[in-house]
Structure 1
Amino acid sequence: MRILFYADGRSPITLNWLRHWIERGDEVHLVSSFSCETLPGLASLQVVPVAFSGAKTTGSPASQKKGLLRGTGSLRWRLLVRQWLGPLTIPGAGRALQAAVECIQPDLVHAMRIPYEGMTAAAANLKRPLLISVWGNDFTLHARSSPWMMYWTRRAMRAALALHSDCQRDQLIAQQLGFKRDHPSLVIPGNGGINPDIFHQPTEVVMQPVVINPRGFRSYVRNDVFFRSIPLVLKQIPEARFLCSSMAGEREAEAWIARLGIAHAVQLLPACSHAQMGDIFRSAAVLVSPSTHDGTPNSVLEGMACGCFPVAGRIESLQEWITSGQNGFLVNSNDPINLAQAILEGLEDTELRLMAAKQNAAIIAERADYEHCMEQATTFYQEIIFRGK
């Protein structure tokens, strides 16, 4: 197959998908919405920026942070700018993408994420089969953020011949926004699945009261509530420790830690590789994901695969994976008391954690195993190409 991806070439999710098709021996082309490094085996790499993505810096995550405003407030400001002004850049990006597609003549175009890659693909009026992936909160947050974002989301759904999402909820929303019910669709994790060689359970049960928050800073993740829950947990379990990935150097996190006097119990970690995150997850008893909007977070599934007891925001997508009180807790992400109570119960109830770990291992193996999911994706791609002829 000759496949053209329009995606953020810096993203680990994108790289996960690209590697699969390259290793299969397919001809893989990447049109990236952000400047990025090439990947061995790519047939070609071009950059088509959209929604001011050309203004972003390249390099390591740590080096990118130094030149940018940080913290939830600035994240929300930048999000507003992209949601209201970003759509103005879509027609121009669409023309550039159209030129790339006409030159490469792929069997399939896969736009990974609706804003703004799927929107741009819709604007390009491609004469090739178009598959769009839904990422995270494309529908629940971004589509509703401005009239133009809703317009382009609907246009993307009408243009898509096929749809990939990480939860059934998004398939239903897609149909409400114009995606045809009889078109091919696939529900597997956004990153293509969980690699059991990296994300697997520890050989021994974790007894230390360690909590991991793997979400970093995002506008829709209530890290303020998370930090405010920590003193409540420490009051009951003084020896509890909290690990926060992708938060090293975050001034807002440092401010909360200083304000609450919890520096002795919190470790802010840098962005970590998958292998490092596997080890970190296996050192923790409880995983916390206090999001208010989301699809199925890959980091939550990775933590579940490593035996962490998940405590997550009560959002519809995660109800497809977690039955609260059985294999995790779904809580009010706006309430630090509710969050602290769930963390405490997860830490203190070893029997519940063991039962949840067994159940979650079976869920991940059945629904999120990388090899199995990508076998489904291969069949899915072939169906799309056949339908597009």
Structure 2
Amino acid sequence: MRLLFIADGRSPTALNWIEYFVGNGDEVHLVSLYPSSPNLDLASFHIIPITFSKVVASVAKTNHQQMNGREEDIRYTQRKPSLSILTPKIRTTFRHWFVPRSLREASAKLRELIDTINPDIVHAMRIPYEGMVGSLADPKTPLIISVWGNDFTLHAPSTKRMRALTEQAMKKADALHTDCYKDLRLARLWGYTGKQTMVVPGSGGVRGDVFYPSESRTSVVTKKPVVINPRGLRAYIHNDVFFGAIALVMKEYPQAKVLCPAMKGSPQVQRWLERFGLEGEIDLLPKVSRAQMATLFQSASIVVSPSTHDGTPNSLLEAMACGCFPIAGDIESLREWIVPGVNGLLIDPNDSGDLAKAIIVAIENQNLRESAFQINKQLVREKADYQKVMSKVKQFYKALIKYPEQ
């Protein structure tokens, strides 16, 4: 197959998906709206910048003391220090207002590439802004659009222009990929009328050779509980609630260890630590590689995701595969994976007390954690195994373009 992906070349989620087809021997072309250098054997790679793409792009210089190998350097690079004074919500708001102004020009350049490459499929991975640019380019070949966790609930309703562009993307899409059934339902409300749909994890699933339980894993965690929040700084993650909850947990379990990847050096995080009296109590880490994240998950007993907008978080599935007990925001998409009190807990993501209570329940209830571990191990194996998921995706592509079976 000749495949053209419109995807963020910095995104581990997108690259994990695309890598499968590169390894499968397909002719893979990638267009990124953000400066990047993906370490993949691509047939061609193009950057079509949009407004702010250079500002939000990761700087080329990486922390080689923290990462190993070129691929990991590309996947997890640091943001420009000057942007740290802006909160994720402010950065997101700026993009909603100004990025749409540059999409027409970007779509014209994309259309030229599509005409030159003549792909069997164009797959835009995410609605803002890849799906928007893809729909404006109006390719003659089938257009698949992936919906990522907060495309409909956070981005689409943010401005009049964002609403219009989201609706156009849904009307132009020939096929749809979502990572939860909630977004499939919402897609219909935003104008998608097609019959070709696929619901699988956004990154293509969990790689079992990377994310798996440690051999030294123990179900006894009350002596020194290890809690990890892998979500980093995002507009829809309530980290203020998280740190407020940790302050309450540490009154009961002062020996608890808390791991926070991708939060080191953030002035906003430092303010939260000062506010809740947690200075020196939290392990703030830089962005880490996939292998390093797996090691962190294997060392932890509880994973926390205090989100108000989400599809199926890839990091949550990876943590569950490593044996972490999941605690997440009580939102529709996560109820597709977690049954409260059975294989995890769902909480009010705006309530530190509710989250603290859930963490303490998880720490003190060994039987619940062990039962959840067994359920989640099977759940991930059945619904999120990378090879199984991507094999389904390949068949979905072939059916869409009526590609003959080799």
TM range (shorter): over 0.9
Q: Is the 8 A contact 1:51 1:116 kept in 2?
A: no
Q: Quickly say closer, same or farther: Cα 1:278–1:64, change in 2 above 3 A.
A: closer
3-state secondary structure, aligned to 2:265: coil
Moved runs in structure 1, 4+ residues, more than 6 A?
none
Indicate the residue corresponding to 1:214 in structure 2. Answer: 230
Please state if 1:273 is matched with 2:289: yes
Please state if 1:127 is matched with 2:128: no
What's the offset of the Cα at 1:235?
A: 1.2
Deviations 1:192-226 (A, max 9, x none): 00001111122232523110000100111110011
What's the offset of the Cα at 1:265?
A: 2.8
Please state if 1:18 is matched with 2:18: yes
Indicate the residue corresponding to 2:67 in structure 1. Answer: none
Indicate the residue corresponding to 1:68 in structure 2. Answer: 82
- 1:155 and 1:381 mapped to 2: Cα distance? 22
Indicate the residue corresponding to 1:300 in structure 2. Answer: 316
Deviations 1:3-32 (A, max 9, x none): 001111111112112211111110000111
What's the offset of the Cα at 1:60?
A: 5.2
What's the offset of the Cα at 1:61?
A: 6.6
Q: Quickly say closer, same or farther: Cα 1:60–1:324, change in 2 above 3 A.
A: farther
What's the offset of the Cα at 1:68?
A: 3.2
3-state secondary structure, aligned to 1:246: coil
Q: Is the 8 A contact 2:263 2:286 kept in 1?
A: yes
Amino acid in the other structure paired with 2:186: I
Indicate the residue corresponding to 2:72 in structure 1. Answer: none
Indicate the residue corresponding to 1:186 in structure 2. Answer: 198
Indicate the residue corresponding to 1:339 in structure 2. Answer: 355
From 135, 139, 142, the counterpart of 2:152: 139
Q: Is the 8 A contact 1:111 1:121 kept in 2?
A: yes
Q: Is the 8 A contact 1:314 1:332 kept in 2?
A: yes
Indicate the residue corresponding to 1:99 in structure 2. Answer: 112
Q: Is the 8 A contact 1:215 1:221 kept in 2?
A: yes
Please state if 1:374 is matched with 2:390: yes
- 1:60 and 1:15 mapped to 2: Cα distance? 20
Please state if 1:198 is matched with 2:198: no
Q: After the TM superposition, which residues 1-389 of structure 1 pair with which residues of structure 2 at under 5 Å, given as runs?
A: 1-57=1-57, 58-59=59-60, 64-70=78-84, 74-182=87-195, 184-203=196-215, 204-206=217-219, 207=221, 208-386=224-402
- 1:142 and 1:338 mapped to 2: Cα distance? 27
Q: Quickly say closer, same or farther: Cα 1:351–1:38, change in 2 above 3 A.
A: closer
- 1:103 and 1:30 mapped to 2: Cα distance? 13
Amino acid in the other structure paired with 1:97: L
Identity of aligned residues (%): 46
Q: Is the 8 A contact 1:245 1:272 kept in 2?
A: yes
TM, length-normalised to structure 1 = 0.96
- 1:149 and 1:34 mapped to 2: Cα distance? 19
Q: Is the 8 A contact 1:87 1:149 kept in 2?
A: yes
Amino acid in the other structure paired with 2:225: P
- 1:294 and 1:230 mapped to 2: Cα distance? 22
Amino acid in the other structure paired with 1:139: F
Provide structure 2 residue ranges, at least 5 long, that are not aligned to the other structure: 64-76
Q: Quickly say closer, same or farther: Cα 1:201–1:66, change in 2 above 3 A.
A: same
What's the offset of the Cα at 1:333?
A: 0.7
3-state secondary structure, aligned to 1:263: coil
Amino acid in the other structure paired with 2:291: A
Between 206-215 and 123-132, the greater mean CA deviation after superposition: 206-215
- 1:55 and 1:98 mapped to 2: Cα distance? 25
TM, length-normalised to structure 2 = 0.92
What's the offset of the Cα at 1:181?
A: 4.3
Amino acid in the other structure paired with 1:159: K
- 1:309 and 1:60 mapped to 2: Cα distance? 35
What's the offset of the Cα at 1:299?
A: 0.6
- 1:69 and 1:81 mapped to 2: Cα distance? 12
3-state secondary structure, aligned to 2:5: strand
What's the offset of the Cα at 1:263?
A: 3.1
Deviations 1:223-250 (A, max 9, x none): 0011111121011112111110111111
Q: Is the 8 A contact 1:154 1:178 kept in 2?
A: yes
Amino acid in the other structure paired with 1:94: S
Superposed CA RMSD in Å reads: 1.5
